[in-house]
């Protein structure tokens, strides 16, 4: 019996033919991640792309799933995948897109672009005061993987000193001037001018950015989050911004998405919020990367070779 493969990634006809050429005997079904799969995901041996976790229901048939996202925490929760299912992710596909989005957001906050946008809408020709620069600044990057490294390179190109945070710190090297562990973050916070997070959601990172975290920053620091929303105590962030302790902040992720209409985050003047759009497929290069990673791992799978980006569960 041939294997069945569900590809939940937007693909061109040429790309579909490339997938089929890798496993000629397999039955392929293609769908867009934004659509409901035409068939029950539990009927497939392989899923390439993201489907609703509840639709898998620990299918014993599913041998391998590769997420189209870099994060895979939605699929590592108990009961989503069977113990025998191999899980891989698309780490490496999003470095350019997410780093550029967060870099643009940080620059916008430094130059108070969001305040001038508010002035424009209010028909106010005003002066929002002093701004800051990345030149000579210390930038603390929480999460020194693919995305964090791409962000660090952008900051260094502007003349910043960049400190990276990894679970297991290694010897410092390009693109970081220094690498520290998560346990050392509170010691370094007072030195940072900009703090940016790309951390995944784990028990160790949940609510990491709380009132004490923001209080440890020196006055005038900018905070940005492009990782997971549960990192941040949002009430504490609002207080730090409204009090003036933080100059500004940028969020592409929030604890609840979509962000509820009653959330105070909407109304903080020096906070820039974007609706989790840094990644996905807004940049064509990202989609090309996701497809290429899926095809490369499918070739390995067909050849019975070890897969890359394996998620330890």
Query: Which residues are marked as active site?
Result: 228, 257, 276
For 127-134, the CB contacts below 8 A with 24+ separation are 132/193, 132/220, 132/222, 132/247, 133/158, 134/106, 134/107, 134/110, 134/158, 134/159, 134/160, 134/194
Tokens of 53: 């976790």
DSSP state of 231: G
d(CA 63, CA 296): 17
CB-based contact 221:198 (threshold 8 Å): no
Count Cβ atoms below 10 Å from residue 266 Cβ, excluding itself: 11
Tokens of 221: 């620091």
Task: Provide the pairing of β-strand 138-142 with 221-225.
Answer: unpaired
Q: Which of 48, 53, 54 is nearest to 32 (CA)?
A: 48
3 state DSSP class of 227: coil
Task: Calculate the alpha carbon distances from 218 to 3, 112, 181, 205, 228 in Å.
Answer: 57, 19, 20, 21, 23
d(CA 89, CA 86): 10
Q: Where are the beta strands (DSSP E) in 137-234?
A: 138-142, 161-166, 178-181, 194-197, 221-225
């Amino acid at each position: 019996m041939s294997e069945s493969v569900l590809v939940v990634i937007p693909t061109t006809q040429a790309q579909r033919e490339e997938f089929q050429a890798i496993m000629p005997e397999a039955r392929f079904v293609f769908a867009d991640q934004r659509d409901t799969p035409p068939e029950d995901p539990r009927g497939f041996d392989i899923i390439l792309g993201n489907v609703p976790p509840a639709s898998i229901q620990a299918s014993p048939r599913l041998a391998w799933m590769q997420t189209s996202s870099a994060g895979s925490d939605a699929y590592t929760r108990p009961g989503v995948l069977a113990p025998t299912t191999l899980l891989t992710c698309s780490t490496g596909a999003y470095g350019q897109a997410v780093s550029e989005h967060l870099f643009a957001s940080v620059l916008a906050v430094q130059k108070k672009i969001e305040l001038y946008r508010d002035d424009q809408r209010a028909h106010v020709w005003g002066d929002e005061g002093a701004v800051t620069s990345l030149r000579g600044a210390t930038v603390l990057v929480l999460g020194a993987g693919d995305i964090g490294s791409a962000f660090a390179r952008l900051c260094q190109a502007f003349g910043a000193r960049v400190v990276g945070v990894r679970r297991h710190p290694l010897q410092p090297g390009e693109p970081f001037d220094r690498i520290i562990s998560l346990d050392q973050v509170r010691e370094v916070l007072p030195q940072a001018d900009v703090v940016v997070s790309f951390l995944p959601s784990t028990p160790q990172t949940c609510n990491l950015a709380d009132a004490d975290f923001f209080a440890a920053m020196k006055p005038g620091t900018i905070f940005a989050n492009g990782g997971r929303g549960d990192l941040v105590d949002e009430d504490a962030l609002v207080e730090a911004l409204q009090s003036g302790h933080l100059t500004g902040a940028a969020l592409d992720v929030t604890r609840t998405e979509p962000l509820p209409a009653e959330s105070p985050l909407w109304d903080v003047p020096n906070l820039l919020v974007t609706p989790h759009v840094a990644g996905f497929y807004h940049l064509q290069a990202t989609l090309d990367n996701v497809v290429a990673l899926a095809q490369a791992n499918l070739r390995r799978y067909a050849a019975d070779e070890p897969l890359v980006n394996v998620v330890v569960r």
